[in-house]
Structure 1
Amino acid sequence: MFDHLVESNNLELEMEDHGLILPEDMDFIKAMIEGLKDRKPVQWPYNGRPKEKSFLYEIVANKSNGIDVDKFDYFARDCYHLGMKNNFDHLRFIQFARVIKVEKDGLNHICSRDKEVANLYDMFYTRNCLHRRACQHRVNTIIQYMIAEAFLEADGHIKIKGSRGKEFTLSTAIDDMEAYTKLTDHVFEQILELDEAKLAEAKKILKRIISRDHYRFLGETKPRQVPTRVCINERKRRWKEELAAAVPEGGDGGVTLTAEDFVVLVATFDYGMKDKDPINNVYFYNKINPDIAFNITRDQVSKLLPACFSEQLIRVYSKKTDDQSVEAARNHLVKWCEDKGLPNPQYGEIAAP
């Protein structure tokens, strides 16, 4: 996408006029966006900057521990718009940031003052809170699901012109940057405006989003084991079938429910590095020896830190939104949790009595 942006706007000469050296600086910019993937490269893999500048690859997308300006930006913005207190002071972090060569891998890393370790835990906790309250809020995730569902229904019926006049669908536009950059919010409106019978189902779903008639949240529970990404789709398909078959005592009130009436989503909450403690990958220095980098173990910080750093929630929704169907579907969910030995489902923010 960056290559397309530069090429389509004829920015090469403009960049050279401002002192950039091409193509080295182009490679450097893209590598900064991608981040340093291998923390211990045997041979330095980048052309944009020499090995001595390895710390630069931790600024935009820090793959080592997740402390980067991308987070500083969306923490400040999202907390402001959500009316949340941002507990992390990125300016303080920058003030104490120091580049030190780490003996373990021979690379220069951005290190923080040892007394800032508790503030960094606050930063990752803020990330977790933002995901719970906004990014992966149960209403947000079902609306994302419905939009994706509508786009899948419309795929093949919406044509997008790309480079050299070639046409692409919604799902294939990613193979052509000229077409991909046209996938804006306008696609949503385009589906609603086009008068084609083939788009009827997609329109129906999008209209439900607009009228806030989205699929009804039934409850959420925690899996006994965290499913891997490889098997998650198969698990969700099987769970829907089990939900439909889990008829509670006394029946389901005359409502017929099938697997297709349920939507099962899995939300993952962590500190940015799956089940790992990101602070284990942060290097610190102290006031006495400011040029020596070291790690800080959790038992040196506090006994009040999280016991684990990742959890998942199984969220179940009903496509049928009338009260009778929702009540029946919720009873199916309760029975399913009992059969699977899962915790009783929670409805909203507080567990049901």
Structure 2
Amino acid sequence: MFDHLVDDNGLKPVMKQHGLVLPEDLDFIKEQIAGPQDTKAWQYKGRPEDKSFLYEIVANKRNGIDVDKWDYFARDCYHLGIQNNFDYRRFLKFARVCEVDGQKHICTRDKEVGNLYDMFHTRNCLHRRAYQHKVGNIIETMITEAFLKADPHIQIEGSGGKIFTLSTAIDDMEAYSKLTDHVFEQILHSSSVELAEARQILRNIICRRLYKCLGQTQAEKPLHEMIHNWEAELAQTIPQSGAYDVNLKPEDFVVNVIVMDYGMKEKNPVNNVRFYCKDDPTTAIQIRKNQVSKLLPEQFAEELIRVYCKKTDDKSMDAAKKHFVQWCMNKNFSKPQVTFICCSVENCTIM
């Protein structure tokens, strides 16, 4: 996409006027966004290995401390009214470059380790309270369903006049750049018979007729099984109180698995940060979690399982919630948190 934007807008002459060296600086910009994943050997083209610390500024794959994160922290905490406990100005004040295992990395003062844990905690709070909110997630799911149903019936012209669908437009940047919010409006206001199902889903979103969240649970261990079978399991589960006069099918359920972590899956990202001491600012050291506080988390990732029901009438919802509770018990998942339920099942928590 970056190459397409540069070529489409004729930016190379402008870049040269401003002192950029091509193609090295173009490669550097692209590598800042998404560089090689293998860090064992130096694979970057934009800068030599003695400038390795420059790749930790925009999108830091070493430990996740970068300006991209600081930017959305400031923006989203402000608009959501969530306290941002991380002061990026203080981090910049104490940042310096030190050599670690033959490469130069951005390090910070040893006394700042607690502030870094606050930063990752803020990230987790934003995901828990906003980015992975149950209503936002189900709206994403419903939009995805609508787009999948509309996919064969929407044509987008790409380079050379070639025609693409919503799902194939990513293979052509000219076509992909046309996938703006107008696609949603195009489906919503269409009169095409082929788009009727997709149109109805989007109308349901606009009118707030959303799939209802039955509740949330957790597995004791990370999930490695295929979750696409879970909808069928939910429909086939018979509650202890007996079956209901409601015909629930696999397609009536939606299962979302949400991963909450500190940005590096189950790993502690602070273990990949190096620090320096006031008395020896040129030597990089590592600070372990047990040297900081006993109140820090023992685990740095968890998987939440949310289940929704597409049928929203009271009778179906009551039956679906009991299916969900029994299903959690059968799979030895944690006691489910449900939004509302009237039943006698002991392993049910009222919220």
**Would you say same fold, with TM above 0.5?**
yes
Q: Distance in 1 between matches of 2:313 and 2:350?
A: 21
Correspondence 1:118 to 2:114:
yes
Checking the alignment, whether the CA contact within 8 Å between 1:216 and 1:318 is kept in structure 2 is: yes
2:211 corresponds to which of 215, 220, 224:
215
Q: Distance in 2 between matches of 1:56 and 1:204?
A: 49
Correspondence 1:172 to 2:163:
no
Which residue pairs with 2:95 in the alignment?
Answer: 97
Q: Distance in 2 between matches of 1:95 and 1:36?
A: 29
Correspondence 1:74 to 2:65:
no
The 3-state SS of whatever aligns with 2:210 is coil
1:144 corresponds to which of 117, 126, 140:
140
Correspondence 1:285 to 2:276:
yes
Q: Distance in 1 between matches of 2:34 and 2:229?
A: 36
Which residue pairs with 2:345 in the alignment?
Answer: none
1:1-353 to 2 correspondences below 5 Å: 1-35=1-35, 37-41=37-41, 44-102=42-100, 104=101, 106-228=102-224, 231=225, 235-348=226-339, 351-352=349-350
Q: Which AA in structure 2 matches 1:38? A: D
Q: Distance in 2 between matches of 1:36 and 1:170?
A: 28
Post-superposition shift, 1:348?
A: 4.8
Post-superposition shift, 1:47?
A: 2.1
Task: Identify unmatched segments of 5+ residues in structure 2.
Answer: 341-347
Checking the alignment, whether the CA contact within 8 Å between 2:215 and 2:336 is kept in structure 1 is: yes
Checking the alignment, whether the CA contact within 8 Å between 2:26 and 2:46 is kept in structure 1 is: yes
Post-superposition shift, 1:175?
A: 0.3
Alpha carbons of structure 1 residues 202 and 267: separation in structure 2 relative to 1, 3 Å: same
Post-superposition shift, 1:192?
A: 1.3
Larger displacement relative to structure 2 (80-89 or 236-245):
236-245
TM value normalised by structure 1: 0.95
Count of residue correspondences:
344
Checking the alignment, whether the CA contact within 8 Å between 1:36 and 1:58 is kept in structure 2 is: no
The 3-state SS of whatever aligns with 1:197 is coil
Checking the alignment, whether the CA contact within 8 Å between 1:219 and 1:347 is kept in structure 2 is: yes
What is the aligned-residue identity percentage?
61
Q: Which AA in structure 2 matches 1:155? A: D
Checking the alignment, whether the CA contact within 8 Å between 1:35 and 1:60 is kept in structure 2 is: no
Q: Distance in 2 between matches of 1:101 and 1:220?
A: 46
For residues 216-258 of structure 1, give each alpha carbon's deviation from its aligned partner in whole angstroms, at most 9, with x where no partner exists: 0000100132124xx5xxx222211111111213434411101
Post-superposition shift, 1:35?
A: 4.0
Q: Hey, which bits of structure 1, 4+ residues long, moved more than 3 A?
A: 249-253, 348-351
Q: Distance in 2 between matches of 1:208 and 1:26?
A: 44
Alpha carbons of structure 1 residues 210 and 314: separation in structure 2 relative to 1, 3 Å: same
Checking the alignment, whether the CA contact within 8 Å between 2:156 and 2:166 is kept in structure 1 is: yes
The 3-state SS of whatever aligns with 2:152 is coil
Larger displacement relative to structure 2 (31-40 or 271-280):
31-40
For residues 22-81 of structure 1, give each alpha carbon's deviation from its aligned partner in whole angstroms, at most 9, with x where no partner exists: 11110010011114633332xx32221111111001111100100000100000101011
Larger displacement relative to structure 2 (264-273 or 343-352):
343-352
Task: Identify unmatched segments of 5+ residues in structure 1.
Answer: none
Q: Distance in 2 between matches of 1:82 and 1:51?
A: 40
Q: Which AA in structure 2 matches 1:188? A: F
Checking the alignment, whether the CA contact within 8 Å between 1:253 and 1:328 is kept in structure 2 is: yes
Q: Which AA in structure 1 matches 2:228? A: R
Larger displacement relative to structure 2 (342-351 or 133-142):
342-351
TM value normalised by structure 2: 0.95
Q: Distance in 2 between matches of 1:336 and 1:214?
A: 23
Question: Considering only aligned residues, what root-mean-square deviation do their CA atoms show, in Å?
Answer: 1.5
